[in-house]
Amino acid sequence: MITFLQTYGTQLLMKTWQHIYISAIALALGIIVAVPLGILLTRVKKIANVVMAIASMLQTIPAMALLALMIPFFGIGAIPAIIALFIYSLLPILRNTYLGMEDVEPALIDAAKGMGLTGWQSIIKVEVPMAAPVIMSGIRLSATYVIAWAALASYIGAGGLGDFIFNGLNLYRTDLILGGSIPVIILALIVDWLLGKLEAVVTPRTSQA
Amino acid sequence: MEHLNKTYPGGKVAVEDFNLEIEKGEFVCFIGTSGSGKTTTMRMINRMLSQTSGTIKLEGQDIGQMDPVKLRRKIGYVIQNIGLMPHMTIRDNITMVPKLLKWPQDKMDERAKEMIKLVELPEDYLDRYPSELSGGQQQRIGVVRALAANQDLVLMDEPFGALDPITREALQDLVKDLQERLGKTFVFVTHDMDEALKLSTRIVVMDGGKIMQVDTPDGILRHPANEFVENLIGKDRLIQARPSITTVGQVMLKSPIATTPGKSLTDALRLMHDKRVDSLLVTDEAGILKGMIGIEDVDYSFNSATSVDDIMKRDIFYVQSNSLIRDTVERILKRGFKNVPVVDDQHRLVGIVTRATLVDIVYDALWGDEEEDEESDNIHHGEDTTKAKANDQTGAEGGDQQ
C-alpha cells in the first residue's frame, strides 16, 4: 500500500480533486435548478406530475448510456460528464423539495396567508424552513449518487477516480481498482456525513432544549 | 364595519345573498352545520376567498379595492388548528404581523410582553417554542397573535373546537373578556350553540349558504325563526332557557281566592277560613282587580267597618300575566310581597304568584320539571351522560400524551 501511494500518490490526489470538482459542480447545478423548480411545482400543481414523470424517466436511463449520449452533443471531457451527473442529481432533489413543501401543514400556510404574508414571504419564512430537512435529505441522496456515478465519468474522458478503476480493469491490476474505488467510497461517506451535519443545522429549532 | 352583502353563486352555491351589517365592537357568531357557508363567508372578509358577486365594505371601504395583503394585516385571524409557526419562538409568533408592518424592535418586544400578560401566561414563555406549550396555551397565543398589531377586527374560525371542554371554557371567558375590554369587533365561526350563546352579542344562524336568523342570543332562544334554528338550539337548551323566557301566566296559580267589594267582612273572614288563606283579592263583577284585603286589616277594623270596600288596599302591586318571570321575580323578592296578583291586558284578575310559586320556579330551574315532565327529565339525564363521556375522552387523551 505504501508502494502504491509512493507510485500513484500525486496522481491519486489529482484524480480525487477532479472527482470532487465534477461532483460538486453537478450537484450545485442540481440544487440550483431542482430546489426552485420543486417549490415552483407546488404553486402549479397541474404540471407537477408531468415534470416529475420526466425527471423519473431521465433517472431510468442507464448511467453509461447517458454518458455516451453526451458525446455527440458535448464531445468528451469534464463538461459532458458534469451535465450527465447534473441530470441524475435532479430527481431526488426535485422530488424531496416538492414533497417537503407539500407536507407543510396547510394550517400553517393558511395562517401565514391570513396574517398577511405575501406568497413569497410565506415560502421564505414558513414553507422552506419547515421543508428544509426533507429537501436536505434529497440533496444528501443526490450527493452520494453523483459521487458514485462520477467514477463512470472517466469513461468519457472526464478524469476523476474512475481513471484508476478503468485502468485497473483493463490491466487486471487489483491494486489500481481498489486504489480508485476505496477513495470513492470514503469520499461518498464523508460528504454524506458532512451534509448530515448541515441537515441538522438547517432543521429549524422547535424547542429550547 | 358596515354593510356586508355578498352573493356566491356558481356551480355550487356556498353562500347565497348574504346581507349583514356589523357594528364596531360587536361579537358576531356565525353558526350552522358543516357546509352552511359560515366559514366561507368569514374567509371572504379577509379575502382568503373571493366572492362571485356582491361587495364587502370595511369601514365604508370596499375591500375588493384594497390590497389583500394589507387588508389581512389589519384583520386578526385565528384558526382551529392554531397555526403557530413551530420554528419560531412564542415572541416571534406574537410579533409576526408587527414585524411585517416593520415596527421597530423595541416596540415589538414591548408588545410581546404586553400580549403575553393579556393572556395570563408568564413572560419567560416568550422564548419557548409552540411545541413546549399545551394546546390551550398555544391557542391563547393564537388569540393574542391576532391582536398584536392592534387589529380592530378579529376573525375566528372555530378556534376552540379542538380543545377539551375545560380549556375551551377558560378560553371563551378570556376572549369574551378581551372583547369587552378592548372593544374589538369579533366575527366568530362555530358550530357549538353553547359557545355562540355565551360569547356573542348577535348570532347569525346559517344553513345551506343562507341566513336563517340574525338576532341576539336572547332573541334566538325566545323566538327561533324556524324549525332549523330550533333544532340547532336543541330541545334541552330551550327547556333550560325557560326560566328566563317563561311568562308569569305560565307559572301562576290559576284560581286565586277573590271576593267583591260589596261583601261584608264576616263573609270575607269566612272565605279566608274556608280556603285557609290569610288574604283575599278584591275584584268587581267583571273580574277587574280592585284591591286586596289581609287578615290583619279585617282584625283591625272588624268593628268599625262593614264591607270589604271600606278596608281594602286599593293601591296594590300586581303584574301582567304576559310579563317575563325573569323581569318579575326580582321585583317580587325585593319588595317582600307574600302574594302578587296577576292580571291580563284588561286588568282582569287571572291568577296569583305566591312565594311558594317562586320556590317552584327556582326548583325547576335547578332540577328540571321532574314530577310533571318525564321527557325533559330524560333529556337532562341524556345530557349528563354526554358530559360524562366527554370527560372520559379528555381523560383518555391525557393518558395518551403521557
Q: Which H, E and C letters describe chain B, residue by residue? A: CCCEEEEECCCCCCEEEEEECCCCCCEEEEECCCCCCHHHHHHHHCCCCCCCEEEEEECCEEHHHCCHHHHHHHEEEECCCCCCCCCCCHHHHHCHHHHHCCCCHHHHHHHHHHHHHHCCCCHHHHHCCHHHCCHHHHHHHHHHHCCCCCCCEEEEECCCCCCCHHHHHHHHHHHHHHHHHHCCEEEEEECCHHHHHHHCCEEEEEECCEEEEEECHHHHHHCCCCHHHHHHHCHHHHHHCHHHHCEHHHHCECCCCEECCCCEHHHHHHHHHHHCCCEEEEECCCCEEEEEEEHHHHHHHCCCCCEHHHHCECCCCCEECCCEHHHHHHHHHHHCCCEEEEECCCCEEEEEEEHHHHHHHHHHHHHCCCCCCHHHHHHHHHHHHHHHHHHHHHHHHHHHHC
Residue in chain A closest to B43 (alpha carbons) equals A114
CATH number of A17-202: 1.10.3720.10
How far does B133 lie from chain A, in Å, by closest CA? Answer: 10
A-interface mutation test, from B45, B94, B95, B96, most A Cβ less than 10 A away: B96
Residue in chain A closest to B87 (alpha carbons) equals A206
Residue in chain A closest to B126 (alpha carbons) equals A208
Residue in chain B closest to A132 (alpha carbons) equals B87
Task: Summarize the confidence of residues A135-153 as an average pLDDT.
Answer: 91
Q: Is the Cβ pair B127, A108 closer than 8 Å? A: no
Name, in order, each residue with C-beta under 8 angstroms of A203's C-beta and a sequence gap of 6 or more.
A132, A133, A136
Q: Is the Cβ pair B77, A208 closer than 8 Å? A: no
CA nearest A12: which of A144, A172, A175, A129?
A175
Angle (CA) B218-B224-B238 rounded to 5° is 70
Looking at domain B4-233, which CATH architecture does it have? 3-Layer(aba) Sandwich (3.40)
pLDDT of residue B333: 65
pLDDT digits 0-9 by tens, A65-84 = 888 888 888 888 888 889 99
Which residue type occupies B135?
Answer: G
B97-106: long-range contacts at Cβ-Cβ below 8 A with a sequence spacing of 24 or more?
A: B97/A115, B97/A116, B97/B73, B97/B145, B97/B148, B97/B149, B97/B151, B98/B148, B98/B149, B100/A115, B100/A116, B100/A117, B100/A121, B100/B73, B101/B73, B101/B149, B103/B149
CA nearest B373: which of B359, B360, B355, B385?
B360
pLDDT of residue A180: 87
3-class secondary-structure state, position A207: coil
CA nearest A99: which of A46, A137, A125, A70?
A137
Task: Give chain A positions within 8 Å (CB) of B73.
Answer: 115-116
pLDDT in tens, chain B (402 residues): 555 556 655 556 778 788 888 888 889 999 988 878 888 888 888 888 888 788 888 887 888 888 989 999 999 999 888 889 999 999 999 999 999 999 999 999 999 998 998 888 898 899 999 999 988 899 899 999 998 988 889 999 988 887 888 888 888 888 888 888 888 899 999 988 888 888 889 999 988 888 889 998 888 888 888 888 888 887 766 666 555 566 777 778 887 888 888 888 888 888 888 888 888 888 888 888 888 888 887 777 777 777 788 888 877 778 877 777 666 666 666 666 777 888 888 888 888 887 777 777 767 666 654 444 444 444 444 444 444 444 444 444 444 443
Please check whether residue B188 touches A, CB under 8 A: no
Angle (CA) A51-A52-A57 rounded to 5° is 100
Other C-beta atoms lying within 10 Å of the C-beta of residue A166: 16
Other C-beta atoms lying within 10 Å of the C-beta of residue B222: 14
pLDDT of residue A197: 92
Angle (CA) B394-B399-B402 rounded to 5° is 130
pLDDT of residue A123: 92
> CA B172 to CA A144: how far, in whole Å?
54
> CA A19 to CA A15: how far, in whole Å?
6
DSSP H or E segment with residue A7? helix A2-43
Q: Is the Cβ pair A115, B127 closer than 8 Å? A: no
Is the separation of the CB atoms in B37 and B84 below 8 Å?
A: no
- Domain extent listing, chain A: 17-202
Torsion of CA B164, B166, B168, B169, to 10 degrees: 160
- Domain extent listing, chain B: 4-233, 249-363, 375-401
The model carries a pTM of 0.67
- The closest CB to that of B79, out of A107, A116, A117, belongs to A107
Q: Which residues of A touch B (CB under 8 A)?
A: 105, 107-108, 110-118, 121, 125-126, 129-130, 204-208
- Higher per-residue confidence, A196 vs B81: A196
Q: Enter the C-alpha cell of residue B319.
A: 303584574
Q: Is the Cβ pair A116, B73 closer than 8 Å? A: yes
CATH number of B249-363: 3.10.580.10
What band does A57 get if pLDDT is binned at 50, 70 and 90?
A: confident
Q: What value of ipTM does the predicted structure carry?
A: 0.77
Q: Is the Cβ pair A115, B46 closer than 8 Å? A: no
Name, in order, each residue with C-beta under 8 angstroms of A43's C-beta and a sequence gap of 6 or more.
A119
Q: Is the Cβ pair A115, B97 closer than 8 Å? A: yes
CB neighbour burial string for B76-98, b if at least 16 within 10 angstroms, e if fewer:
bbbbbbbbbbbbbbbbbbbbbbb
Q: Which residues pair with B56 in a beta bridge?
A: B4
Angle between helices B135-145 and B165-182 (to 10 degrees): 20
Is the separation of the CB atoms in B355 and B363 below 8 Å?
A: no
Task: Give chain A positions within 8 Å (CB) of B86.
Answer: 108, 130, 204, 206
- Higher per-residue confidence, B222 vs A33: A33
> CA B26 to CA B4: how far, in whole Å?
14
3-class secondary-structure state, position A76: coil
Q: Enter the C-alpha cell of residue B361.
A: 320556579
Name, in order, each residue with C-beta under 8 angstroms of B121's C-beta and a sequence gap of 6 or more.
B137, B140, B141
Task: Give chain B positions within 8 Å (CB) of A126.
Answer: 85
A21: buried, middle or exposed (CB in 10 Å: 19+, 13-18, 0-12)?
middle
